[in-house]
Amino acid sequence: ARVGSKTESPPPVPIQSLLDGHDALVESLAGALSSDQSMETGEEPSYLRTGLARDVLHKLRRGHWVVQDVVDLHGLNRQEARSLLAEFLGGCLKRGLRCVRVVHGKGLRSPGREPVLKGKVQRWLAQRDDVLAFCEAPKNQGGSGALLVLLKA
């Protein structure tokens, strides 16, 4: 036989509210860069993983590495773009590619003529361990609507 006092059951936990709060937190932190990463402020977007020599970014800007593949994210929504970018980069790594171009667009057809994917793509790239550096592409390769990305060898 059981001995003990009658205990009250705990109040129900609003699971969906907790999940919604968690999702909102994850989304808000999705743009945060980890401590080994830095993004320059200024007009031209660029990124260099902490610990790499500054000349890596300079060489990337000057075309030291040949662009080996391109992905175009024009016209995609955020989720489609993130998924395609991850798939593209994964494939590039498997094939041993070192330098790629990511076309995110200039936002000329977006509401308010503001680029929707530009900042998001930069954050997604900066969060990846396999991305060493990126910079704005030269004008003849997309200019402010594209990034050159240097991947781990």
Q: What is the CATH number of the domain that holds 135?
A: 3.30.1370.110
Q: Is the pLDDT of residue 101 over 80?
A: yes
Domain that includes residue 131, residue range: 35-151
CA distance 89 to 31: 19
Say if 95 falls within a structural domain: yes
Q: Which of 25-39, 65-79, 99-113 has the lowest mean pLDDT?
A: 25-39
pLDDT on residue 32? 41
Q: Does 28 map to a domain?
A: no
In a domain, 48, yes or no: yes
- Per-residue confidence (pLDDT) for residue 110, from 0 to 100: 73
**pLDDT on residue 115:** 81
Question: Does the pLDDT of residue 44 top 90, yes or no?
Answer: no
For residue 15, pLDDT over 50 is answered with yes
Angstrom distance (rounded) from CA 26 to CA 22: 6
| pLDDT, position 19 | 57
Looking at residue 16, its pLDDT comes to 58
* 38 pLDDT tier (thresholds 50, 70, 90): very low
Q: CA angle, corner 43, sides to 38 and 45, nearest 5? A: 40
Residue 106 lies in a domain: yes
Question: What letter would DSSP give residue 22?
Answer: H
Number of domains in the chain: 1
Mean pLDDT of the chain: 82
